[in-house]
Amino acid sequence: MEFCERLGMQARLHTFDDHVSAGELRDQVRRINDDPAVHAILVQLPLPRHIEEPASGLNKFDVFDAISGPKDVDGISRETVPELYRAQAERMLHLPATALAVRRMLEFYEIETEGKVAVIVGRNDITAKPIHHMLGGRMCNATAIWCHRYTRKADHDRFMRAADIIVTSVGSERYRIAADLVKPGAVVIDVATRVGADGKLNGDVDFQHVKDVASFITPVPKGVGPVTVAALTENVVRAAKFAYGLGQPGYDFASSRDAHLRPAISS
């Protein structure tokens, strides 16, 4: 919201009680979506457990689907997901912001993805899932391997040591990527954030040791995070253009190499 203000965008925060039902939240999102003065909508995740993981009935996906495609700047509604799943980049309204940030960083630093082995860790709806489809789809043409809490440790470690590109987004103190899991020369992109016992922000990667092994690595903080915020506001600008009939689906990534501001990545 602070970044939006700096850019001259009007951002409004809508808060709800933790006990709000999925139906009530869906209806509120739908009401906001129907306001022509609103160009973009983002639902902050995670939602309360009874909406995230219900045994039956309405759930978070019904809330997501209350957002129309042109306003869905997180790329999570049924109007935006199919193009990513089908790898139809030219028809894409909004690529989820973190995936967009990762894609722009890979393109800017001319990191080859075609034919490479990419391991994506985590199952978040707006980070790991879209990044997996992006890397393994026609946008990147990598061999994408998806690891999550149900992946056996032996398989996880074997996949990681074979990876040319690692993108991790777990954010748990119980998960850590040490240097012995990283192939020399691999590209390591740490999307995760968590606050440690020392009050400092940490990612999934043991940065101090892995940086000596990796060819490229993103720090936490001041790595993917600021680029994600920039990508989100880029999507907001796209949404505003769609509202006035000025925007076109699809993204241009080649031009990102010519940008004057380099995303934060170390080599």
Q: Does residue 18 sit within a domain?
A: no
In contact, 171 and 200? CB cutoff 8 Å: no
What is the Cα–Cα distance from 112 to 236, expressed in whole angstroms?
28
* Count of positions (residues) in the chain: 267
pLDDT at 53: 86
Q: How many domains does the chain have?
A: 1
For the record, the structure tokens of 101 come out as 């940030």
What is the Cα–Cα distance from 55 to 87, expressed in whole angstroms?
31
Q: Which amino acid is it at 232?
A: L
Q: Does residue 233 sit within a domain?
A: no
pLDDT at 267: 46
Sheet holding 143-147, edge to edge: 143-147, 117-121, 165-168, 187-190, 216-217
In contact, 39 and 240? CB cutoff 8 Å: yes
Q: Does residue 131 sit within a domain?
A: yes
Decide if pLDDT at 109 tops 50: yes
Q: Does residue 229 sit within a domain?
A: no
Q: Does residue 110 sit within a domain?
A: yes
User: Containing domain of residue 112, as a range?
Assistant: 97-221
Instruction: Supply the pTM of this predicted model.
Output: 0.91
For 142-159, what is the mean pLDDT? Answer: 97
Query: Which CATH number characterizes residue 127's domain?
Result: 3.40.50.720
What is the Cα–Cα distance from 218 to 224, expressed in whole angstroms?
7
For 184-209, what is the mean pLDDT? Answer: 94
Greater confidence (200 vs 184) lies with: 184
Decide if pLDDT at 150 tops 60: yes
pLDDT at 263: 54
Decide if pLDDT at 223 tops 90: yes
What is the Cα–Cα distance from 155 to 140, expressed in whole angstroms?
24
For 96-111, what is the mean pLDDT? Answer: 96
Q: Does residue 120 sit within a domain?
A: yes
What is the Cα–Cα distance from 263 to 228, expressed in whole angstroms?
10
In the 8-state DSSP scheme, what is residue 263?
A: P
Tell me how far CA of residue 10 lies from CA of 2, 215, 233, 236, in angstroms: 10, 40, 11, 11
For 188-194, what is the mean pLDDT? Answer: 95
For 119-141, what is the mean pLDDT? Answer: 95
For the beta carbon of residue 62, count every other beta carbon within 10 angstroms: 18
Q: State pLDDT tens for residues 51-68.
A: 998 778 999 999 999 999
State the average pLDDT for the chain.
93
In the 8-state DSSP scheme, what is residue 126?
A: T
What is the Cα–Cα distance from 189 to 59, expressed in whole angstroms?
31
Pairing state between β 201-202 and 194-195: antiparallel
In contact, 131 and 100? CB cutoff 8 Å: no
Q: Does residue 181 sit within a domain?
A: yes
For 164-177, what is the mean pLDDT? Answer: 96
pLDDT grade for 203, boundaries at 50, 70 and 90 = very high
Q: Does residue 177 sit within a domain?
A: yes
> Of 153, 149, 193, nearest to 169 (Cα)?
193
Q: State pLDDT tens for residues 25-38.
A: 999 999 999 999 99
For the beta carbon of residue 79, count every other beta carbon within 10 angstroms: 18
Of the listed ranges 40-49, 82-91, 157-166, 256-265, the least confidently predicted one is: 256-265
